Amino acid sequence: MKRRILVVEDNQASRELLCDWLEAEGCEVQVAGNLEQAFAALKSQRPPDAILLDVQLGPEDGLAVARRVRQEANLQGLPVIAVTAQAMPAEQERIIRAGCNACAAKPVNLKELGEHLERWLKPSARQ
């Protein structure tokens, strides 16, 4: 079964880049452009295997998705990887404290992002 990745990104160009790359890697991609869509995707019958999360969704705080994932018992092991332009060390610490497993800086280095996904999608890393 293909891995299902939820891409939470409000910028169309960034969203297309991530989706095209994930599909080329053989993943099934689900897209959310705002918090409401992301929360709805988490409630679906088949939740994603991982989330790529933009930290700043227009006026919304994307980290609300990570916090929700960590609060819900059935989602707590779900890998959340922040993809953000806010890459300073203090910001990365804030992102990790909010519940993200890793942080990838924009512009996205797809090799690095793939390494994060590989690491966090391993069954042993999710426990």
pLDDT recorded at residue 18: 97
C-alpha to C-alpha distance for 65 and 120, rounded to whole angstroms: 17
pLDDT recorded at residue 1: 67
Element holding 61 (H helix, E strand): strand 60-61
Contacting residues for 7 by C-beta, under 8 A, at least 6 apart: 15, 18, 19, 22, 29, 30, 31, 32, 51, 52
5 pLDDT tier (thresholds 50, 70, 90): very high
In the chain, the domains with their CATH numbers are 4-126 (3.40.50.2300)
CB half-sphere exposure, 21, CA atoms < 13 A: 16
Q: What are the tens digits of pLDDT across the range 13-53? A: 999 999 999 999 999 999 999 999 999 999 988 889 999 99
Element holding 113 (H helix, E strand): helix 110-121
Mean pLDDT of 118-126: 75
Per-residue pLDDT at 127 exceeds 70: no
